[in-house]
Chains A and B, each alone.
Chain A
């Protein structure tokens, strides 16, 4: 039996965050009644013409800068000709020979903790194009219904090199890209609404073979879980076919989440011949160096740079820094927590954000492979919906641990209350739950004396050299103090008394 190598390249369509369509003044708001956001241009009435939306170009420039790609000083819109009822003009305006962005790369992270490794996936290109409408196949007396509200929505199609070697790598790439487009604010990342969807080109080849195998393209993967399932199924299917002596034929396939299988599409039967040519209704798109610099200056700190800064300035591990910069919302939240708590507590802040905040983020945005995402919401403020304890509150809570007011265990209780309860002040919560540690030496000494008196056996054992007995005594004191004693202080006092 041979070993097989999987080769995957991804084509991702990111819907750009504009108000109006790429070539018309129609709204792109989601959820309107069918065809109420389909203007004369969108339904391709005779005589209408496209005019390019500046904001869509701006989004493409931001992306090009964020992936370190080349932004073409002059790019060209082309027509991709094919007939389909959701494509009103009979062609899609896209870019072909001269895309707006070419090259660049995206760092993806694989594995957990100390096992984590990074891989740079190169990008072939990113180009601007318009979306098609939607075909609704529910029964209209056996007909298909066409809604053109989505027709003309601006998309950035981002094409990777075929450099992924497993479904896990493909998902890691898709997630990194998903985070990046939201990070730079060009896409809302809403996968349910189709704002971010991927096509995966999958092929297999015997390990060591140089040439690529014949690929099949899995269309319209709008969830990371489906992407993983679809690729895994497709890879196994292709291997089986080849091993049984059947050649793979190039095809476009769809993934059926119910059966977990991929199947070839029937509607794209005629040989693809899109007859691309420069759209004569549009002129070359010119992007000046001045415009690029203006955009660069306004770009936020990018995840790779922020990750490096967290490692260097806060002494975080690569994995922790990567986790905190997995989304803009998470990174902003962490940064604000550190700003309030002070950078000497950055490590503690990181632990809290990574372990506690992320664990609690169930009600908020969460991607479908279970990874919590502190995503930016549409108004641009980081995930207030997702994270129910503000960065300021978390910072104060952390300060209360370090100043000895509460124990770590007490802080966890307070955190639960802050998250689930009415939005109270941190100190109010500490008071209400009675979490304040007993820092009054006199009262504590009294309790210790009582415990020592009642546990003569443990005292004896400790003195005989059993360290365990000491821990038992600490536990008894904590219990007698109803958890309010500061464990560190208890230890010190006990040692003094037992030693004295």
Chain B
């Protein structure tokens, strides 16, 4: 059951081979058993989960009711990254600042998946305020990579990735600002998708960098991700950046053959920086694609080297402002002792935020401050346009772009935490898609050093999620990387 696809779970539920309560219990028991070693979950609440499962069992959604009420995902358990506000659940964003914050409302994504009948298993660990690529910045302690507990799971959606890899949940949500879905998906050997900016509502998703943040699904396979994305996506009037587009079935193109697919390989992604083990796995995957009928063509993204520095201007700038609301007045942490208002603010924020968050706030304040705005922020926004234009040009020659998701397999705890810039460079292949607003995904394509998973990245044209999923699914039909399990998980 823990290796079953969402479709298989749906069939078992519809045919009453298992109830939603039984399925939730199965995963809750696994979480109880395996989570202490992995630290993937920040909050679990058995009572709440089972109450929700019971409600789904008696609803018409499982197949007893009329077709209109039925939902394929009904009764399937799911866990949310702790960045999504979930009414009645503690929502911490991985921070001491919100360690006791019980959200009074649901994020749009949470609402939509609950409306589809999915059952919330709990809240997943993450880098504090999604700022990190290793999960080491979480106030609740780092998540361990299920493939090697001495190594990072990636970040910021590290808890989400570990939960899927260890089969603690069949489906999870993640968010991706610079690679936070794709990089941990690569490092933990699962499939994750960051949609085009604006496809999934950001309402109720605690903001890191508003113009880059996008929520997406993480699961065992592209087929599962397609089902989840179909349920998560959609217009939301409460988010000004949510796009008014007709609803899409992201599974619609899964079975299309790949003959004729033109895959662009950016030469900048295949140069220095990529570890040989990653390169070998990616090359083998591309060979597989050619066997499936696709052709590959070299393309160029000449400004991609600038994506990391541009990102580290834009994201901290937006974050410095987005995180100003955490001031100890209306909710969240307040320092126990202070002399006056200014002191309360400075102590509350000094104590409530961790080191990486504070660093980024300071960088953001600096690049926006008087006299530096044009040189840093405005310049970064101009380079952002150059980066987006690079992709437009490249997509003139290909249908999808492929390359590595991360330059190396999962690294050891502490390996990069002393040097922020080294850590930032772990997102070198993922960041440019956020700057351009493009959809991107990562899927397992083999194993590298130490038997650790390697991720293949697929980048699509704007709104081309269905085609990306098609490409990933066809690959997963002929490979079994995505079905491999770390030791000790069964």
Contact = CB atoms under 8 A, between A and B. Distances in A.
Interface of A: 40, 43-52, 79, 81, 83, 85, 88-91, 144, 146, 273, 275-277, 280-283
Q: Of residues A46, A85, A275, which shows the largest number of chain B Cβ atoms within 10 Å of its Cβ? A: A46
Contacts of A281: 207, 210, 240-241
A423 B258 CA distance: 87
23 contacts: A40-B105, A44-B330, A46-B98, A46-B206, A46-B325, A46-B326, A47-B85, A47-B107, A47-B205, A51-B237, A51-B240, A81-B321, A83-B345, A85-B327, A88-B325, A89-B324, A89-B325, A90-B324, A275-B365, A275-B373, A276-B373, A277-B318, A281-B210
Given A83-B345, A277-B377, A283 B240 contact: yes
Interface in B296-333: 317-318, 320-321, 323-327, 329-331
Contacts of B324: 81, 83, 89-91
Contacts of B331: 45-46
B471 interface: no
A83 B211 CA distance: 23
B317 A277 contact: yes
A23 to B, nearest CB: 9
A282 B93 CA distance: 23
Contact of B330 (A51, A88, A280): A88
B203 A48 contact: yes
B368 interface: yes
* Residue picked from A47, A48, A91, A273, most chain B C-beta under 10 Å: A47
Interface residues of B, number: 44
Contact of A46 (B101, B210, B317, B321): B101
Nearest to A90: B324
Given A275-B321, A277-B317, A83 B206 contact: no
Contacts of B369: 273, 275
Contacts of A282: 240
A485 to B, nearest CB: 75
Nearest to A86: B329
B91 interface: yes
Contact of B206 (A43, A47, A79): A47
Given A81-B321, A83-B345, A90-B325, A46 B368 contact: no
Residue with the greatest number of chain A CB neighbours at <10 A, chosen from B107, B238, B331: B238
Nearest to A272: B370
A91 B210 CA distance: 15
A144 B370 CA distance: 31
Contact of A85 (B103, B241, B329): B329
B203 A47 contact: yes
Contacts of B233: none
A273 B371 CA distance: 10
B239 A49 contact: yes
B32 to A, nearest CB: 29
A81 B240 contact: no
Contacts of B206: 46-47
Given A51-B237, A280-B209, A91 B98 contact: no
Contacts of A88: 325, 329-330
B453 interface: no
B326 to A, nearest CB: 8
Given A83-B345, A85-B341, A281-B241, A45 B321 contact: no
B210 A273 contact: no
Contacts, number: 100
A273 B84 CA distance: 32
B240 A49 contact: yes
A85 B330 CA distance: 9
Contacts of B320: 81, 275
Contacts of A146: 329
Interface string B223-246: 000000000000001111100000
Given A83-B345, A90-B324, A49 B209 contact: no
B80 interface: no
B213 to A, nearest CB: 9
Q: Closest 5 interchain pairs by CB? A: A90-B324, A280-B210, A275-B368, A280-B211, A44-B325
Nearest to B365: A275
B279 interface: no
B104 interface: yes
Nearest to A44: B325
Contacts of A50: 240
A47 B211 CA distance: 14
Contacts of A277: 317-318, 321, 368, 373, 377
Contacts of B347: none
Given A45-B85, A46-B326, A51-B238, 6 more contacts: A46-B98, A47-B203, A90-B321, A91-B324, A277-B368, A283-B240
A47 B207 contact: yes
A368 to B, nearest CB: 34
Contacts of B341: 85, 144
B23 to A, nearest CB: 29
A276 B365 CA distance: 10
B318 A49 contact: no
A128 to B, nearest CB: 14
Contacts of A144: 341
Contacts of B93: 46
Contacts of B368: 81, 275-277
A105 B240 CA distance: 33
Interface in B180-216: 202-207, 209-211
B388 to A, nearest CB: 15
Nearest to A85: B329
A98 to B, nearest CB: 14
A47 B327 contact: no
Contacts of B210: 280-281
Contacts of A283: 240-241
Nearest to A43: B330
B467 to A, nearest CB: 26
Contact of A79 (B104, B203, B321): B321
A43 B330 CA distance: 7
A99 to B, nearest CB: 18
A91 B323 CA distance: 10
Interface string B91-133: 1010000100101110100000000000000000000000000
A282 B98 CA distance: 25
A144 B317 CA distance: 31
A83 B373 CA distance: 20
B107 A52 contact: no
B240 A48 contact: no
Nearest to A275: B368
B365 A40 contact: no
Contacts of A275: 320-321, 365, 368-370, 373
B316 to A, nearest CB: 12
A240 B369 CA distance: 36
A79 B321 CA distance: 8
A90 B241 CA distance: 21
Interface string B360-387: 0000010011100100010000000000
B360 to A, nearest CB: 14
A50 B93 CA distance: 21
Contacts of B98: 46
A438 B240 CA distance: 75
Contacts of B325: 44, 46, 88-90
Nearest to B204: A47
A49 B321 contact: no
A468 to B, nearest CB: 80
Interface in B322-365: 323-327, 329-331, 341, 345, 365
Contacts of A83: 324, 327, 345
A389 to B, nearest CB: 49
B240 A52 contact: yes
Contact of A45 (B105, B327, B377): B105
A85 B348 CA distance: 14
A307 B266 CA distance: 69
A364 to B, nearest CB: 41
A76 to B, nearest CB: 12
